[in-house]
Amino acid sequence: MEKALREYEEKRQEGARLAGKLLLASAVTAPRVGGIDEISVQYIEEQDTIEEMAIVIDKMASDNPAWGFFRSDAIQVRDSDVVLVMADRRSGHDPMDSNCNLCGYSLCDQWRQVPKLSNEASVAFRGPFCLLRSMNVAYALGGAVTLARQLGIDYTVKMSVGAAAVRMGLTPYKSDVALGFLASVTEKSPFKDLPKNYEQYNSASLENRLIGRLFPTFRSIYS
């Protein structure tokens, strides 16, 4: 690759990673119910881990009839420079004890008696989770969104990323509900103007077809 272009690509990635760390900071300082520290934010920049996550999400698309959109999500993960995963550390086992009824149980002690959903592939999050706690994930995401807008980088939020992160064991111990934030620094947002059947026609798959598949054929013919 031409030196100038290589340097441009390196600086682009560096910018995305720097932004990703600032997004993490904004997610951490976003409001919390009761000001409690119970959210963790995992920062993922390694392309291998991002690719592994995209594959897990793609596979999960077959686990539940409602998850067809995971295929498109997988591509968007693959096209991301940085992935943030916001997880709640307490909502699965330690309710807020506010008896808020968001979960549908008038008392938190009733919630404690409810068995968790079984460990099946079709279940993303083995609920019920305490909503008064897990809503902090939304504030963390909102904090990242706020700064991403100011920085002018492309972003989106994904339930599938959180589900895959839990399945991959990327979240802390007992953090069984999580949501994902994708960030990208490119000329065209990979999260907007999604074609139908995006998984077949995105830039990565086209690149694979044209260069990865066709170019060796040309070489073998013409060289």
Partner 1 sequence: MAIINQEELLKGGLDRAVELMAVAANTAMMFGKQKLKIVSMGPEEFEDLSGFCEGIAGLSPLADRDGRSFADLAKEDARALLIGANRKSVYNFDCGACGYATCAELNRTPLVEGIVANGPCCHFAVYDMHMAAMAAAAAAWRMGLHCRVFQTVGTAATACEFITDIDFSVGVGVSYQQIDPFFDRHKYWTDEEWKEKFAQDFPSFARRFIGAVE
Candidates 23, 24, 30, 60: give the one binding partner 1 (CB under 8 A): 30
CB count within 10 Å of CB 172 equals: 12
Three-class SS state of 128: coil
CB count within 10 Å of CB 28 equals: 16
Q: List Cα–Cα distances, 221 to 120, 207, 209, 213, 214, in angstroms.
A: 49, 20, 17, 13, 11
Residue whose C-alpha is closest to residue 46's, from 82, 9, 84: 82
Find the binding residues for partner 1 in span 42-101 (CB under 8 A): 64, 66-67, 94, 96-101
Q: For residues 185 and 187, what is the distance between their CA atoms, to the nearest angstrom?
A: 7
Number of residues that bind partner 1 (CB under 8 A): 52
Q: For residues 4 and 65, what is the distance between their CA atoms, to the nearest angstrom?
A: 47
Is 123 one of the binding residues for partner 1 (CB under 8 A)?
yes
Q: For residues 42 and 180, what is the distance between their CA atoms, to the nearest angstrom?
A: 9
Is 137 one of the binding residues for partner 1 (CB under 8 A)?
yes
Give the position of tokens 């994902």. 180
Q: Considering the complex, what minimum distance in angstroms separates the CB of residue 215 from partner 1? A: 39
- Given a contact cutoff of 8 angstroms between Cβ atoms, the answer to whether 86 and 179 are in contact is yes
- Given a contact cutoff of 8 angstroms between Cβ atoms, the answer to whether 90 and 130 are in contact is yes
Q: Considering the complex, what minimum distance in angstroms separates the CB of residue 40 from partner 1? A: 15
Is 31 one of the binding residues for partner 1 (CB under 8 A)?
yes
Name the one range near partner 1 by CB under 8 A: 5-13, 25-33, 47-55, 210-218.
25-33
Q: Considering the complex, what minimum distance in angstroms separates the CB of residue 15 from partner 1? A: 21
Q: Considering the complex, what minimum distance in angstroms separates the CB of residue 131 from partner 1? A: 5
Q: Which is nearer to partner 1, 137 or 170 (CB)?
A: 137
Name the one range near partner 1 by CB under 8 A: 28-36, 53-61, 75-83, 210-218.
28-36
Is 157 one of the binding residues for partner 1 (CB under 8 A)?
yes
- Residues lying near partner 1 in the complex (CB under 8 A) are found at 30-31, 33-37, 64, 66-67, 94, 96-106, 114, 116-117, 122-129, 131-132, 134-135, 137-139, 141-143, 145-146, 155-157, 159, 163, 177, 179
